[in-house]
Amino acid sequence: MEPITVILQTYKRTDVALRTIAAARRNLIYGGALYWYVADDGSPEEHVNAVLEAVGGDLLAYHSVRRGYGGNANAAWDAADQVSNLTFFLEDDWELRQPLDLYAYAALLMETSEIGMVRLGALNLDIRGRTWAHGGNVYWKLDREPHHDGTPVFTGHPSLRHRRYRDVYGNYPEGLLPGETELAYAYQFRWAPQDAPGIVWPADYPAMGYFGHIGSVKTETML
């Protein structure tokens, strides 16, 4: 089975990050190798050490350099791509609240070149797209147009990605605030050709979602 590298993006929020790591280590299920890359954006040494200890023996590597949201993600992606075609992006404030088996999603990405990402964050009932079936599972394939309220379909929510997604859509923009970075990257998806690798969302996604967003804790954020 193709290995998966979990990219944990983190900055200073030690208590929140430790909750996120503990929940993911407890509830992420995968039959193949599951590595961790800690992408720290220049936090104090105490934070970095606590996070590395929580990740434990599954640590692939880490960096702790102030690069900002986009640069931090891109540097981690560079390292993860040396190990596997699959990366699981996880910001440090998304708590996995029930078991989540990645096998079917990994198989989809490895076997279907038309898909580049399986999005697994908070549930949005305003999904526009069409159904997509693979391996007995049904997904929503998301449209490239934004939702009716103007919200782009892509955000920093947890997601499993194949390297083809990056090959087509490129790196995150750098030098922007986190929200600006996500928005700019969302439009790289929106403006891509229709035959570019798409994003799917499991049609049987739990009503309350797998993840809880615990990022309301006030702290400094990655710039």
Find where tokens 């390292």 sit.
79
How do beta strands 137-142 and 129-134 pair? antiparallel
* Model confidence at 151: pLDDT above 80: no
What DSSP letter does each residue of 158-191 carry, written as one string?
Answer: -EEEEHHHHHHH-PPP-SS-HHHHHHHHHHHHHT
Q: What is the pLDDT of residues 170-197, one digit of tens each?
A: 999 999 998 888 888 888 887 888 788 9
Per-residue confidence (pLDDT) for residue 190, from 0 to 100: 78
The candidate with the shortest Cα–Cα distance to 91, out of 6, 161, 169, is: 6
* Model confidence at 85: pLDDT above 70: yes
All domains in the chain, ordered by first residue: 4-213 (3.90.550.10)
Q: Is 142 left (phi over 0), alpha (psi -120 to 50) or beta?
A: beta
Confidence of residue 218 (pLDDT cuts 50, 70, 90): very low
pLDDT over 70, % of the chain: 86
* Model confidence at 215: pLDDT above 60: yes
Question: What's the pTM?
Answer: 0.91
Per-residue confidence (pLDDT) for residue 89, from 0 to 100: 96
CA 42 – CA 120 distance, rounded (Å) = 27
Q: What are phi and psi of 53, to 5 degrees?
A: -65, -40
